[in-house]
Amino acid sequence: MQANSRPVSSNQQHLHPKLAEVVCRHLRTTHRAELSAHNIQAYERLSLEMKARPRPLVLDSFCGTGHSTAALAERHPGHLIVGVDKSAQRLAKHPHSPHDNYLLLQADCEDIWTLLAGDGLLPDYHYMLYPNPWPKAAHLQRRIHGHPSFPLLLTLGGTLELRSNWQIYVEEFGCAMHLAGHHGRVLRLTDTGPNLSLFEQKYRNSGHDLWSYTASVMP
Ligand SMILES: C[S@@+](CC[C@H](N)C(=O)[O-])C[C@H]1O[C@@H](n2cnc3c(N)ncnc32)[C@H](O)[C@@H]1O
């Protein structure tokens, strides 16, 4: 993967001035969107797998090519790891892996979160690695913490880890979590171990600082 990625550039240099207003509005309401048939169909694979071999879950939301999903399968051998990404093109680039304790679903995360929460299938760990930053200030509501589905994410609980190469994104996520009553930590990643995902590799090779937010969330 190339090593010439430019750092995130934005017309927003600090936390978004409307962050608290938007997050609190979403926290007061329940996100209800009609589920898409293709997401229900994708979820069916997970549901059948869990009925056949019930195991604790790890969720890798926005998994892209699923390199991270396979790496997490090695890290969590007793779990079923579920990578979710809406892009068939990205998922088609998934390399062969010797691990058989993971599934990749082509679906929208928000619908999969709704279905998991409805069935009480709650992940022990929930990774969100390098989601699209949506750096324009006008796009706050497209960021995970600015989206109406943010409260849904909280109902899933688990040990959450969000990573980004945009410090403001991670700090905003941390503030949104704080507004929801969850306390976590924002850190600059100093770990020089193996890259967890392709975007992590690209950003590291390009010399970007990488940031993470972690918290334990009781559903
Ligand atoms: C910047 S890439 C990061 C991919 C991967 N996590 C990594 O670190 O290499 C963001 C991914 O989020 C996916 N995505 C964006 N919105 C999504 C949604 N609502 N549901 C599922 N996937 C989504 C995109 O298709 C894309 O693959």
pLDDT in tens, 180-211: 999 999 999 987 788 999 999 999 999 999 99
Q: Cβ < 6 Å from ligand 1: which residues?
A: 62-64, 68, 84-87, 90, 108-110, 129-132, 197-200
Task: Give the model's pLDDT for residue 4.
Answer: 84
- Which atom of ligand 1 is nearest to 84's Cα? 21
Q: Which residue stretches of the chain are H helix? A: 19-27, 37-52, 67-75, 88-91, 109-119, 150-156, 167-179, 198-205
Give residue 132 CA to ligand 1 midpoint distance, Å: 6
Give residue 85 CA to ligand 1 midpoint distance, Å: 6
What angle in degrees, to the nearest 10, is found between the helix axes of 19-27 and 167-179? 40
Residue nearest to atom 14 of ligand 1 (CA): 62
DSSP helix/strand/coil, 133:
coil
CA angle 168/215/87 to nearest 5° reads 65
Give residue 65 CA to ligand 1 midpoint distance, Å: 9
pLDDT in tens, 127-142: 999 999 999 999 999 9
Domains and CATH numbers, the chain: 19-217 (3.40.50.150)
Model-wide pTM > 0.95: yes
Task: Give the model's pLDDT for residue 215.
Answer: 98
pLDDT in tens, 85-107: 999 999 999 999 999 999 999 99
Task: Give the model's pLDDT for residue 219.
Answer: 80
pLDDT in tens, 10-40: 999 999 999 999 999 999 998 888 999 999 9
Task: Give the model's pLDDT for residue 192.
Answer: 73
